[in-house]
Structure 1
Amino acid sequence: MTTQAFGLSKSNSVASATLRTALSDIYRGFVEFTHNGMALLGCALAVGIIALAARGDLRDSVEQKALDWLLQRQDTGMVIEQPTLEPETVERVAAVTPDQLPRQQANVAHWLSRKYRVAPEPLSALVAEAFTVGEKVRLDPTLILAVMAIESRFNPYAQSPVGAQGLMQVLTRVHSDKYEDFGGQMAAFDPLSNLRVGVKVLQDCIKQAGSIEGGLRLYVGAVTTDGSSYINKVMAEHLRIRSVALGKPMPTSFPVFSAIPAPAPVEPELTLPTQTGFLESVPVEGAIVLPSDPAAANDLSSS
């Protein structure tokens, strides 16, 4: 038993020594390979540096490729998600720079921006829209802009005590049907929608009255007054804006418009006898004209 145990112990020692020798050889081989590999890598780098130094075109090409690679890695690692805008939102952006407009419109936009202290970009969009719509409906665009100036001073959120709203101060509750094509009554506060509806109302008023002055009186809804003050303000601003558009000197005098009072109903005038006979009457439709000759009058009364 002792001899067998000794044999097994000796066999295990030999196997252990063999394993250690094998691991030692592997380690030395790895170190030697790594050392040689580093040496080869160093040599390759040295050769590459020398080659790049000797050839400028090759160096530039390597630098450009390295820069492109770094930029690509940076873009891949830093992905910034851009906000997406709804198409409707993009289409409804109502602002342009005056430089994008024709000369006449740009002149008007700059002048109105300074006078009413409104940003030129949204005001330029209103000017362009006024000229476009005015051409379609055959209405002077400077008149449209004058109405906006007097009604709201280009404040798209203005509201009067009686409920007129927006740039053109349209009575939304009265003209709610005209806002249906623009999404409903809340479109009254959208500048371009309010402008288009206001132009439609103004056009109907002018057509009904038969003149611009009469149309303005209907537009403002003059009840307790004849509307002449409003008409004069709008027409004066209209002349100023038109002069700016045409590049003419600013007018210094303006025509004064006054409402013509309606004729009072005329009662039929009857003649009364006097000591010298009958007074001649003024012919009035529906009145009886009595002759000045008493004899003829007797004949008329007897007939």
Structure 2
Amino acid sequence: MARSNPSRFLKFLAFAGVSLAILCLALQPVSALDFTFGRKPLDPSVQNALALMKLTPKHLYQWQAETPKSLLLQIHQWAPEKQEMAAALALYIRSQNQNVSARDTWRMAVAFVHYGEKYDLPVDMAVAVAQVESRFDPYARSREGALGPMQVLWRIHSRLLRNHLNMGSSKDLLDPEKGVAAGCLLLSRYMRAHQTEKKALSRYLGAPSSRYFKAFSKFLDRFREHLTLAEI
């Protein structure tokens, strides 16, 4: 009669245990996985902002899983000052329009920070324009066909958006982050071309408008006051 090999049996049990653990992990919903693995802790400013919105970091990890191409995935790697700006922005957007979902609020917040830096555009300028244009509604549509939080016209800017942002259709403008990216790209080009906010905004709007500039200035001051109170 053949003798059993205890070491072989123990190896089998260990292999079976690991296989079972992997299978259980694979069967979990994506939102249940631990997205903190291998990442730096969130800056306290982000955690505090989430708490003020009655959320936790788990909500952020869930949104990262739901939108795997989102800039939210990068926030862990950002310097503290960038995370602080994103947190302050999220709180500001939420305070100005509570109809915007928490996920879309944070997606727009990180997009403003990222694309403001990428295109060398003052974040407060982009934020004020978005507030004038749509009150931060990422799914806003105008009668003229302007779309997204910054109300960009696809029929006019499609070639530029395809070449610089790899957008495929007007639907991309209704993505919270891509909509912000499109507006920031246009504003940055107009600022370089015209050098002043007033002229750049006239180009963005399509015509000079004292009413538009007055609204922009009001929201610009409001956002700057918010940053001052947040000590940003």
Q: TM-score, normalised by structure 1?
A: 0.49
**Matches of 2:89 and 2:195, distance apart in 1:** 28
Shift of 1:94: 6.2
- Asked if the contact 1:179/1:188 (under 8 Å) is kept, the reply is no
Shift of 1:157: 1.5
**Matches of 2:142 and 2:97, distance apart in 1:** 19
Structure 1 residues 132 and 94: CA distance shift in structure 2, 3 A: closer
**Matches of 2:30 and 2:224, distance apart in 1:** 41
2:34 is matched with which residue? none
Structure 1 residues 112 and 247: CA distance shift in structure 2, 3 A: same
**Matches of 1:233 and 1:183, distance apart in 2:** 30
**Matches of 1:82 and 1:108, distance apart in 2:** 33
- Asked if the contact 1:94/1:122 (under 8 Å) is kept, the reply is no
Is 1:190 matched with 2:186? no
Is 1:130 matched with 2:112? yes
Higher Rg: 1
Structure 1: gaps spanning 5 or more residues: 1-67, 250-303
2:94 to 113, 133, 137: 113
1:39 is matched with which residue? none
1:32 is matched with which residue? none
1:92 is matched with which residue? 69
1:154 is matched with which residue? 136
**Matches of 1:245 and 1:120, distance apart in 2:** 20
1:202 is matched with which residue? 187
- Asked if the contact 1:157/1:166 (under 8 Å) is kept, the reply is yes
1:10 is matched with which residue? none
CA deviations 1:37-96 (Å, max 9, x no partner) are: xxxxxxxxxxxxxxxxxxxxxxxxxxxxxxx9xxx7xx69x97845689x9964234668
2:59 is matched with which residue? none
Partner letter of residue 91 of structure 1?
A: P
Structure 1 residues 155 and 94: CA distance shift in structure 2, 3 A: farther
Instruction: Report runs of 4+ in structure 1 exceeding 6 Å deviation.
Output: 98-101
**Matches of 2:27 and 2:118, distance apart in 1:** 43
2:197 to 209, 212, 221: 212
How many positions carry a matched residue from both structures? Answer: 173
Quote the sequence identity (%).
25
**Matches of 1:207 and 1:169, distance apart in 2:** 20
- Asked if the contact 1:158/1:169 (under 8 Å) is kept, the reply is yes
2:84 to 103, 113, 116: 103
Structure 1 residues 84 and 130: CA distance shift in structure 2, 3 A: closer
CA deviations 1:199-235 (Å, max 9, x no partner) are: 111122223333111111111112xxx4111011112
- Asked if the contact 2:96/2:135 (under 8 Å) is kept, the reply is no
**Matches of 2:93 and 2:167, distance apart in 1:** 29
Partner letter of residue 196 of structure 2?
A: S
**Matches of 1:105 and 1:88, distance apart in 2:** 19
Partner letter of residue 166 of structure 2?
A: F
- Asked if the contact 1:95/1:121 (under 8 Å) is kept, the reply is no
Greater shift after overlay, 227-236 or 183-192?
183-192
**Matches of 1:236 and 1:84, distance apart in 2:** 42
Q: Which protein is richer in helix relative to its size?
A: 2
**Matches of 1:115 and 1:82, distance apart in 2:** 37
**Matches of 2:116 and 2:194, distance apart in 1:** 19
**Matches of 1:203 and 1:220, distance apart in 2:** 14
Structure 1 residues 174 and 95: CA distance shift in structure 2, 3 A: same
- Asked if the contact 1:205/1:218 (under 8 Å) is kept, the reply is yes
CA deviations 1:12-60 (Å, max 9, x no partner) are: xxxxxxxxxxxxxxxxxxxxxxxxxxxxxxxxxxxxxxxxxxxxxxxxx
**Matches of 1:194 and 1:107, distance apart in 2:** 20
1:229 is matched with which residue? 211
- Asked if the contact 2:71/2:110 (under 8 Å) is kept, the reply is no
2:41 is matched with which residue? none
